[in-house]
Amino acid sequence: MKSSIPHVALYAATLAGLLMLSGCGKHEETPPAANAPAAPASTPATTPPANPAPSSTAPAPSSTTNSPATKPATTGTSPTTAVPASTEFRIAAVTVGNQVADDHRVSEAKNHFAPNDKAIYASVATQGNTKGVTLNATWTYLEGQARPITSTSQSIATDGPAVTTFEVRNPSLWPAGKYQVVISLDGKPVSTQGFDVAKI
């Protein structure tokens, strides 16, 4: 009974955080989780107490926009026609790291983190058009019996390339071991990124 109390507290804190996030605006800045409560002293060292943070979506910079070729062919006898790029919505890339740039992209891809890294990000680059889909990031600690840390969803609508960033925070030290983040599109897993935490 003694060991289930910290788990109940962790789940309650996660649920409370998700409820607070549901009332937030989609584009509001979230203050750092500096005032998040520290894990109780009786919490086992392998329980990662993480605080989910809202995700954000930004259009991709115009320099990455795909455009059909417009130069005429210089060789050959038949004219070429530009083939329009597919407008079907898809995940183009998922990048994990501990810092994001102003364009919401992870600034440096990493798969090894230090226990004192306060935040870990997953930026999801998408291509194509959609009037509305839901992206989800589920973070899991894989050591021993795999345990979910948190799951965050973001509804997006876009008419071109975009980046959606998900974040998980831990006010304490991350337990050493293997982790993963699974990115889902409308409930279907489309990308799994593994990473680990170890003393450097």
DSSP letters for 39-105 = PPTTS-TT----EEEEEEEEEPPGGG------SPPSSSSS---PPPPP-B-EEEEEEEES-B-TTSS
Q: Is residue 36 predicted with pLDDT exceeding 80?
A: no
What is the CATH T-level fold of the domain 4-25+46-62+87-197, as seen in this structure? Immunoglobulin-like (2.60.40)
Q: Is residue 149 predicted with pLDDT exceeding 80?
A: yes
pLDDT tens for each residue of 42-88: 333 444 545 555 455 555 544 333 333 333 333 334 444 444 556 89
Q: Is residue 32 predicted with pLDDT exceeding 90?
A: no
Q: Is residue 31 predicted with pLDDT exceeding 80?
A: no
- For residue 179, what pLDDT is reported? 98
DSSP state of 34: G
Q: Is residue 173 predicted with pLDDT exceeding 60?
A: yes
Task: Name the residue with higher pLDDT: 63 or 119.
Answer: 119
Which tokens in the block code for residue 30? 């979230």
